[in-house]
Chains A and B, each alone.
Chain A
Amino acid sequence: MAEKKVEEKQYDTIIVHSAVYKTEYTQKYINRPVWEYPNENHIFSFMPGSIIDVHVKPGEKLKEGDSLLILEAMKMHNNVQMPFDGKIVKIHVKPGQKIPKKHLMLEIKRL
């Protein structure tokens, strides 16, 4: 009898080693960060801050280490560099703009 009652309730599920367990989630579990495979062509802000200057234009070809833009965060001027040889596909920020953490700043492409 008791078991029937339990089954009527709506439960969430957790899978451990192929077995599906009926249970409840915590708010913290629901809010957990979902893993995404990093896209090497997307340059995100690693901290919230302001864009001081953008050094590149769409279509521009660049070498690894070339300066892309200056992001001011925690009172430091951070020089964001080209991670590999490639070109600029799209620019999503402009000088003076305040951006949050993990904001997409540039799209690039490996050449």
Chain B
Amino acid sequence: MSLKRNILDLRKRKSEVLKGGGEKAIEKQVAMGKLTARERILYILDEGSFHEYDLFVEHVARDFDMENKKLHGDGVIIGTGTIHGAPICIFAQDFTVAGGSLGLMHARKITKIMDHSLKMRVPLIGINDSGGARIQEGVNSLAGYGEIFFRNTLASGVIPQISVILGPCAGGAVYSPALTDFVFVVNNISKMFITGPSVIKTVLGEEISMEALGGAKVHAEITGNAHFYAESELECFDQIKKLMEFLPWNNKQKATRVEPANPKRRKKVENIVPSDPKMPYDIRDIIEAITDKSEFFEIMELFAPNIVIGFGRLNGETVGFVANQPKVLAGVLDCDSSDKAARFIRYCNAFNIPIITLEDLPGYLPGVDQEHAGVIRHGAKILYAYSEATVPRITVIIRKAYGGGYIAMNSRHLRADFVFAWPTAEIAVMGPEGAANIVFRKEIAEAEDPDAMRQIKIDEYKEKFANPYVAAGKGYIDEVIEPEDTRKMLLHALQVSANKSVMGPNKKHGIPPF
């Protein structure tokens, strides 16, 4: 007796399930400018590497006539494959099957692949495209979400978790992406919100479109929920693959080292920075002048652009950059930028990525809105994140390092491993203008020409304190370096820090100000 019949039967069954929600539903999906769930997985993974599981899982809903409905794969595809030749776990919700709605078995498939990724210590990529909870399954869908959130938290800081929002992701569903490390969104396709436009209109009378409420731009620019913004799905997949180049596969490993290379840029770094500390420049030009191949992969480019974060390589090794951006809001720290930087610092620390801090900031952003939004609490996050980080931490002070900003930006006092300063650095409790107004208040008020006296006193203060040598004299700075030597010093500092080992007090976990 031959097995042929059984094999043919298997093939038939598989081809049936692979149709997903059927031709019509797929046509609709395509009409919305979206790829199908399976196509998305195949684009992200190495060619021919995808293996799918739980193809024959059926939903278990028995109410509301659901027992007569066939939902292929219960609306989600799970499996394993490789990216850059290394194994990963992946799931993708299939909007063509019952709107990708989440029922008990749908959730169970997702948690199965999540358990797998945590056990095998490989990254997890989740593609979200779902109408939300499957109402017919009642509390079972809620249970499903809860099981997913718990696993997101369990795996947090152990394996990289990536969420890709390629369709609606509303209500409770938004919290899985929010718990993961990186969220990718695509213009016109991604929509995330807790309460949708129709409910908001009914209850509050506020009229807003889905795009304006929770579109890709909103989350990339205003809320900070998204880390990467793309104009198309394909661009988004390229971003994912690029990001994965910089990451280790779990928290016990280091990111794959690549062949070291010199920066491409021949421009002198000292020519990028205006000598007047009140004039702007783009800090990314400095990062690109330092990194291997002048490559810098920026994260959260549109949100709180007054601080710049992202990955680059030094001598072939992945490093995380945290840099004040004088070009935007003078590079001040505020609620959003503190939040953005602090989370990134914690990410780097969890995944053994050394942190390079480039500093040039006048301090914290003044304003009632900032104070009332809790800039104290948010600003504290950055102090917390740096202080607890045990990966190599190196700071380069480019120009201004004033007041609380100086302390916060990985200062010696927060146990930075190396602090270098350019000769243009001004390390002081505040800028000369502010300091002169306070220290010489009496002299200025009593002078015949207060403005002239103020200028004299500003210059006096500048001469005395607006330099790196007072701090260097106390050992707060290890070395005042020539700008051209920045890369050389960083490479050496990283080499020296390679086996860094520090031990804090034993604790269950800290209580960061979030």
Residues of A at the B interface (CB closer than 8 Å) are 2-3, 6-7, 11, 14-29, 32-35, 47-49, 73-75, 98, 100-101
Known: A2-B271, A28-B222, A33-B369. A23 touches B280 (CB 8 A): yes
Instruction: Contacts A19-B362, A23-B329 given; indicate if A74 touches B276 (C-beta within 8 A).
Output: no
A90 to chain B, nearest CB (A): 23
A48 and B434 contacting across the interface, CB-CB below 8 Å: no
* With known contacts A6-B274, A17-B363, A26–B305 Cβ distance under 8 A: yes
Contact status A23-B431, CB under 8 Å: no
Assuming the contacts A22-B279, A23-B280, A27-B221, asked whether A15 and B366 have C-beta atoms less than 8 A apart, the reply is: yes
Residues of B within 8 A of A (CB): 203-206, 221-222, 271, 274-276, 278-281, 304-306, 326-332, 336, 362-369, 372, 402-403, 430-435, 437
- Chain A min CB distance to B372 (Å): 8
Contacts of A32 in B (CB 8 A): 367, 369
- Residues of A within 8 Å of B326, CB to CB, are 21, 23
State A7–B274 Cα separation when bound (angstroms).
10
Which of chain A's residues have a CB closer than 8 A to the CB of B304? 26
Question: Whole-angstrom distance between the alpha carbons of A27 and B305 in the complex?
Answer: 11
Complex contact B280–A16 (CB within 8 A): no
* CB closest chain-A residue, reference B328: A24
Query: For A74, what are the chain B residues with a Cβ–Cβ distance below 8 Å?
Result: 203-204
Chain A residues within 8 Å of B330, by CB: 14, 16, 21-23
Asked if A18 and B280 sit within 8 Å, CB to CB, the answer is no
CB distance from B197 to the nearest CB of A (A): 14
Q: Which of A22, A25, A35, A100 contacts B205 (CB 8 A)?
A: A100
Contact across chains for A18 and B204 when beta carbons are under 8 A apart: no
B329 A18 Cβ-Cβ under 8 A: no
Contact partners of A100 in chain B: CB under 8 A: 205-206
The interface residues of chain A lying within 8 Å CB-to-CB of B221 are: 27-28
CA distance in complex: A33, B369 (Å)? 6
Q: Using Cβ atoms and an 8 Å threshold, which residues of chain A touch B403? A: 17
> Provided the pairs A6-B280, A18-B437 are in contact, do residues A25 and B329 lie with their beta carbons within 8 angstroms?
yes
Q: How far is the CA of A18 from the CA of B367 in the complex (A)?
A: 14
Query: B432 CB to closest chain A CB, in angstroms?
Result: 8
Q: Is the CB of A16 within 8 A of B368?
A: no
- Residue of B280, B305, B364, B368 near A35 (CB, 8 A) is B368
Q: What's the minimum C-beta distance from A22 to chain B, rounded to whole angstroms? A: 6
Is the pair B206, A21 in contact by a Cβ cutoff of 8 Å? no
- Rounded to whole Å, the gap between the CB of A96 and the closest CB of chain B is 13
Quick one: given A26-B306, A28-B336, A74-B203, are A19 and B278 in contact (CB under 8 Å)? yes
Question: Which of chain B's residues have a CB closer than 8 A to the CB of A14?
Answer: 329-330, 332, 362, 365
Closest 5 CB pairs of A and B: A17-B434, A35-B368, A21-B330, A16-B362, A18-B433
Given the complex of chains A and B, what is the CA–CA distance between A90 and B336 in angstroms?
41
| Contacting residues, chain A, for B430 (C-beta < 8 A) | 17
Query: Which of B271, B329, B365, B403 has most A Cβ within 10 Å?
Result: B329
Chain B residues with CB under 8 Å of A20's CB are 278
A35 CA to B304 CA, complexed, in Å: 21
Contact check, A17 vs B433: say whether CB atoms are below 8 A apart.
yes
Closest to A73 in B: B204
Cβ 8 A contact of B402, one of A17, A47, A73: A17
How far, in Å, is B427 (CB) from chain A's closest CB? Answer: 15
B434→A19 contact, CB < 8 A: yes
- CB-CB under 8 A from B368, the residues of chain A are 35
B205 and A49: CB pair below 8 A? yes
- Residues of the A chain whose Cβ atoms lie less than 8 Å from the Cβ of B275: 3
**Cross-chain contact B279 with A3 (CB below 8 angstroms):** yes
Smallest CB–CB gap between B453 and chain A, Å?
15
**What are the residues of chain A within 8 A of B434 when measuring CB–CB?**
16-19
CB-based contact B280/A24 at 8 Å: yes
List the B side residues contacting A3 at CB < 8 Å: 274-276, 279
Cβ–Cβ < 8 Å partners of A16 in chain B? 330, 332, 362-366, 402, 431, 434
The residue of chain A having its C-beta at the shortest distance from the C-beta of B267 within the complex is A2
Chain B contacts for A22, CB-based, 8 A:
278-280, 330
Alpha-carbon gap, A33 to B371, bound state (A):
12
Per the bound structure, the CA–CA distance linking A18 and B278 in Å amounts to 12
Instruction: Verify B280–A11 contact, CB threshold 8 A.
Output: yes
Task: Give Cα A20–Cα B304 distance, bound, in whole angstroms.
Answer: 20
Q: List 11 contacting pairs A-B, 8 Å CB cutoff, sorted by A.
A: A14-B330, A14-B332, A16-B332, A16-B363, A17-B363, A17-B430, A17-B431, A19-B433, A22-B330, A23-B327, A35-B368
**Could you tell me if A98 and B305 are in contact, using CB atoms closer than 8 angstroms?**
no
Instruction: Give bound CA distance, A100 to B206, whole Å.
Output: 8
Contact B362 A21 (CB under 8 A): yes
**Sample of 18 more A-B contacts, CB < 8 Å, known A3-B274, A16-B330:** A3-B279, A6-B274, A6-B279, A7-B279, A11-B280, A14-B362, A16-B366, A23-B326, A24-B280, A26-B304, A26-B306, A27-B221, A32-B367, A32-B369, A33-B369, A34-B369, A35-B372, A47-B204
A29–B331 CA distance with the chains assembled, in angstroms: 13
Give CA–CA (A26, B367) in the complex, Å: 15
Give the shortest distance, in Å, between A62 (CB) and chain B (any CB). Answer: 28
Specify which chain B residues have a CB less than 8 angstroms from the CB of A26 in the assembled complex: 304-306, 328-329
